[in-house]
Structures are given as C-alpha cells and as structure tokens.
Structure 1
Amino acid sequence: MPTEHTVRSYDEELKMLVKTVLRMGGLAEAQMVNAIQALIRRDNDLASRVVSSDARIDAMEQEINDRAVRLLALRQPMADDLRNIVGAFKIASDLERIGDYASNVGKRALVLNQLPVVKPVATVPRMARLVQDIVNDTLDAYVERDLDKAVDAWSRDEEVDELYTSLFRELLTYMMEDPRNITACTHLMFIAKNIERIGDHATNICENIHYLVSGKPLRATRPKGREAGNFASTPPDPTSGIS
C-alpha cells in the first residue's frame, strides 16, 4: 500500500481487499481464455466448465463488496484509502461483467460446437487475444499502480473496435453468400460482441485506476474505432435463448 497506518490490521485489510480484486481479475481473465479455447477446440466440457464457474466470480464480487463496506463503516477512510476502497467496488463490478460475457461465449460455443465449422471462427481468436492482452495489462496496472500502463491499455480499445467492425462485415458477407451459414454466423456475431464488451469493461477499469492513483479522472475521449458505433447495439438473438 502507498502508506503505512498506525493500526496494522487496517493495512492488512486494505492489502487483502486488493489481493481479492486481483484474484477475481485472474479468474475472469482465465474464464475468457477458456471460453475461446472451448470455441477453437470445439470442447463442450471446457465450455460447460466456463458456464458453471461464473458463480465463483459472482461470489468473489460479493466478498469484495463485503470487505469494502466493512472498511468504510469501521475505518472511515479518507483520500487515497477512500479511492482505493471505492475503486475496488467499481473494478469488481466490471470484472463481474467480464465473467458474465465469458460465460455467454461459453454458452454459444456449446451451440456452435454442434454446427459445421465456418471460416470466421479463425478471426475471433485474434480479437480475443488482443482483449486478453488488454485485460492482463489492466490488472498489472492495478497492482503496480502504473498510470502509463493503464492509459496504454485504455487506448488500445480502438483496435478492438476496428477488429469487431471488420469481423461483423465478414460475417454478414458469409451469411449473404450462403443462407446455411446464418445460424453459425449469428452466434459468432454475438461472441464477437461479447469479446468487444469485455474490452469496454477493461477500459472502465483503466479509468478507475487512473482516478485511484492520481485522484483525477481520465478526461480524454474514450477511443472508438471508425464506424464501431454503427454496430454497438447488436440486437438480441430471439432464436438462441442465450442472453
């Protein structure tokens, strides 16, 4: 922690809060990696484990919230400590959403694994690797309190949006060329959107890290790829039964 407190137990509680956030982040990142591997390998067992493991992330968010509320109630923190505790609240919420999106990818992988392979499956992992790197660097920035690393990870969201736009167009082309591809491509489209949203939540975390460390909001405009906004609100698929 940046400073030592008179009450040693207070320092230990703050350190444990940070460690719990990092454990939750590592689990959320692993969920995303496993979901993509389940898609690539057509591994139903792995996809099912991803879906069932989402409850662990939810439980960790509750643990972080409980720890943070206890610190706020008993220690009445100020300045850096207050930002640290409130930041943990917010970061845990974004990590929980990352876990949800990874679970959604796992659910759609279970469906896609029953369908013939379509070519764009090879494009999705490239986008996922970029998002994974962003999430990894974001978690490193959190533990290191590294502003430069947080801003760098934040700025790379534009590349994610560019890839998503390109993949969206590619999938539309495949669907128009052969109607038999529509079901598989629709699931891939939603998987791509889930991955893109994971990137968005990573940028949220970077913004929270910036405020946590500097006490100032990140005032730059959030980077967005060209025309990415055109596809930002992909409608729900009424035929899939998957959220």
Structure 2
Amino acid sequence: MVSQQTNDLDVGTVDWSAHSNVGGDRTFERSLKRLEQDVLRMGALVEQSFRLSHEALFARNLAAAKHIKPLDEEIDRYYRQIESDCAMLMSLQATLAEDVRLLSALMQLVRDLERIGDYAEDLAELALKLFPYPPNPHMAEIESMSNHSQVMLAVSLMALADLDVATGRRVKQMDDTVDDAYDRIYGALAQTRDVPGPIEPFLLLGLAIRHLERMADHATNIGQRVTYIVTGHRG
C-alpha cells in the first residue's frame, strides 16, 4: 500500500462510478472509490513537485530542489499501486466494456502524471547545475512558460476531479501558448550560442524549456483522457 501522508489533501468528492456500469456491485464500487482517491492524491503530489521545481529554477531555491526526490518516490509508488489495481479490476470476469474503458483511461492518465513528476525532478537537477551561473536574460519568459504549464496541470486535474469535459478541453486550447513560447525561446537561445562565455547554461535552459513543453503536453493528455472517460471519444 502507498503512504497515507496525503490524506489531508482535497481530492474531490465526485463519484466516478457514475461513469461506470458497475451494476450495483458494491465491492467494485468501493474499489473504484479507493482508486479515485489514489489518482487524485497522486495528482496533488505531482502539482507539489512541479511547484518545488519552479521554486528551485526561478527563485534559485536549492532546498526546494532537494525535497523533490522523496516526492517523486511517493509519486512512483502511487503509480505502481494504481496500475496494479486497475489491472486487477480489469481482469474480473464481470467487468464490462464501460468499466474497462474507465480503467484503461486511468492507467494511461497516471502514466501522464508520473511523467510530469519525472520532468519536475529533471528541472530540479537543471536548477542545481544552473545555480553557479548568473541568471539568464530569458529566465522571465521561461518562468512565464512554467507558470502557464502549471495552470494547465491544475485545470486538467480539476477536469479529472469533476469529470468535466468542457474543462478538459480547455487544456488543449491552452497548450498553444506553451508551444509558441517554446519556439520563441528556443530560437532566442539558439541565436545567443556565439556569446562569449560558457555554453552550458544555454544548453541547460534549452533542456528546461523542452521539459516544460512536454509537461504541458502530458497535462493536455489528461484533459483528453477525461473526455474519453465521459464520452468514449477522444479529443
């Protein structure tokens, strides 16, 4: 079992079994409720990890960077437990097509969350490597990109907690802003590679914006998976 240290988090009250064809099976319904709580707790941990990586990178808070690894280990434990629970429920003989759709979507969704957590840890490592160098002129724009990606994650988790298709689709619309920022900042960093001095900080920032762009993509995936859970259609 995963740690219960996140029990005080607000993990929502929506009944996901309303989008399942449990047919009055109380055992299945209880299992699905536990699964719901674990997925939302995992999402809250991923949000926390993203916030800490932001602090490490833009506030040069090295203490924040060091808190991320144990968080990521907790995220990974949730991921493995949820994946195992979904597989177990899918294997039940009485599991119907609607239930399989919900459970398979949740398995894919927690993979997106796990990847965002991994990227947060990577950003913290980049922050440690960037610390000896003076702040780059592009940091303010990169920070804005990070803020927008965090909002996307928050909105995608709101969509998940409420199983709200309209909110999930908003995340896809928000992704264009992050993609545009990536293209713009990458181009600016590429043009400054001939500036005298170490090339390493430019390479590290190039990795940072790539991680942020991928985090936004995974948040978009979560929003799309909410649509699939509710409607059976993607996008």
| TM-score normalised by L of structure 2 | 0.87
The structure 1 residue matched to 2:77, chosen from 44, 54, 59, is 59
Counterpart for residue 187 of structure 1? 204
Q: Partners in 2 of 1:189 and 1:181 — Cα distance?
A: 14
Counterpart for residue 11 of structure 2? none
In structure 1, give the amino acid aligned to 2:63.
Answer: D
Alignment RMSD, CA only?
1.6
Aligned residues: 217
5+ residue gaps, structure 1: 219-243
In structure 2, give the amino acid aligned to 1:107.
Answer: E
5+ residue gaps, structure 2: 1-16
Q: Partners in 1 of 2:126 and 2:62 — Cα distance?
A: 10
How many Å apart are 1:216 and its aligned residue?
Answer: 1.4
Equivalent pair of 1:131/1:160 in contact (CA under 8 Å):
yes
Equivalent pair of 2:90/2:99 in contact (CA under 8 Å):
no
The structure 2 residue matched to 1:28, chosen from 43, 46, 58, is 46
The structure 1 residue matched to 2:217, chosen from 200, 220, 223, is 200
Q: Is 1:153 the counterpart of 2:177 in the alignment? A: no
Q: Is 1:89 the counterpart of 2:107 in the alignment? A: yes
In structure 1, give the amino acid aligned to 2:81.
Answer: E
In structure 2, give the amino acid aligned to 1:35.
Answer: S
In structure 2, give the amino acid aligned to 1:198.
Answer: M
In the superposition, relative to structure 1, how do residues 119 and 181 fare at CA in structure 2: closer, same or farther (>3 Å)? farther
Same amino acid, percent of matched pairs: 29
How many Å apart are 1:181 and its aligned residue?
Answer: 5.2
Q: Partners in 2 of 1:169 and 1:181 — Cα distance?
A: 18
Counterpart for residue 228 of structure 1? none
Q: Is 1:50 the counterpart of 2:72 in the alignment? A: no
How many Å apart are 1:75 and its aligned residue?
Answer: 5.8
Q: Partners in 2 of 1:76 and 1:126 — Cα distance?
A: 48
In structure 2, give the amino acid aligned to 1:161.
Answer: D
Equivalent pair of 1:61/1:96 in contact (CA under 8 Å):
yes
Counterpart for residue 211 of structure 1? 228
Q: Partners in 1 of 2:109 and 2:219 — Cα distance?
A: 9
